[in-house]
Amino acid sequence: MSDAAGTGSLQDDEVVIRFVVSKRNIRQDKTVKPEAFMPPKSLDLSVTHVANRSMQAIWERGHAVAKSHAIAAKREIRLIGGAELTSRDVRAAHPLDVVEAPIPEDQWHAHIVGWPPFGEEKERTKMLMILLASRAKYQPFPIPT
Amino acid sequence: MTKAMAIATISSPMLLGTPSVAVSLEAEYIGQHAQEPWDSIQQLNSIGIADLFHDLGQLAIECERPGWDGDGADPVLPSTIDQAVRLLRALPPGMSRPTLGVEPDGQITFEWYTSPKQVLSVSVCSDGNLYFAALLGAARHFGREPFFGDMPDEILRLVHRVAA
């Protein structure tokens, strides 16, 4: 893909980020735990793709995501960092795929799709989560100086 | 006692640190069960799971309400905590210790980890099954095992392979 947001699949070499908002999802060695990739009931796992944006713009988006979660949960939730994957990494966890899913708040929003039905085949879902986590690169949210 | 009134000191004799008071039925459950005879602090320490009970208590508190993650997560049910306590007790002495986590479907995870490609994750839920997946190099293993209070052999084998 492209500089302009659309609705198709992302190219293999495109990088997507899953925002991490719980310290529990990061191990002591700064690797990402599979829990960070658990799909929601809709089976559309939200990520944002980097495209040609600055990291500052991406972190701003992540901060907004964490803030919306905090409001919904009525407790403090902060952006911890991001788990980076290429589309190729996602597709290596067959049958997962990553597709554009722009939303008003984020034209670079995308979904990781292709999960087993929610509540069924949990073991297969876990295997896919582990595969994504094994390829993810953790980027900590920089602490403002 | 109602859930709202349930006040437990989850650190009573099972925990190492300073006591913390929690308003949680789950914490009360853990606190009560950890006081049974075999759960003396010496025994918990000697097999290295006192800190895991502490983590479980924290999880129970943090994730007891629907939407605890701000993104529609299911709550961790008392019956799930019950199963997790049973699994903690089923860890054989000498076995490498897992770390605990929680998934948005309200299941508690036990993870044995050496590297991102040498890892086993077991999900504990209230339906009596353990759901597991492991990556051992290029090899993938996943499945489910009924849990009756003893660690299933298949999961034991995978724990040993992750640690090997």
Q: Residue A4's pLDDT is what?
A: 44
Mind giving me the DSSP string for chain A? --SS--SSBPPTT-EEEEEE--GGGB-TTSPBPGGGG---TTS-EEEEE-TT--HHHHHHHHHHHHHHHHHHHTS-----EEEEEEHHHHHHSTT-EEEE--BTTBTTEEEEE-PPPTTS-HHHHHHHHHHHHHH-EEEEPPPP-
Q: Binning pLDDT at 50, 70 and 90, where does residue B22 land?
A: very low
Q: Which residues contact A109 (CB under 8 A, 6 or more apart)?
A: A46, A47, A48, A100, A101, A102, A103
Q: What is the pLDDT of residues B105-123, one digit of tens each?
A: 999 999 999 999 999 999 9
pLDDT higher at A142 or B151: B151
Instruction: Please give the residue of chain B at the shortest CA–CA distance from A118.
Output: B105
- Inform me whether the C-beta atom of residue A33 falls under 8 Å from chain B C-beta atoms: yes
Confidence band, pLDDT 50/70/90 cuts, at residue B27: low
Position B140 scores a pLDDT of 97
Asked if A65 reaches chain B (Cβ–Cβ under 8 Å), the answer is no
CA B47 – CA B95 distance, rounded (Å): 9
> Residue-wise over A90-105: b if at least 16 C-beta within 10 A, else e?
bbebeebebbbbeeee
**Between residues 87 and 126 of chain B, which touch chain A (CB distance below 8 Å)?**
99, 101-105, 107, 109, 111, 113, 116-117, 119, 121, 123, 125
> What count of other Cβ atoms lies within 10 Å of the Cβ of residue B36?
10
Q: Are A127 and B133 in contact (CB < 8 Å)? A: yes
Provide the pLDDT confidence category of residue B164 given band limits of 50, 70 and 90: confident
Show me where the domains of chain B are located.
Answer: 7-163
How many angstroms separate the CA of residue A41 from the nearest CA in chain B?
8
At residue B7, the 3 state secondary structure works out as strand
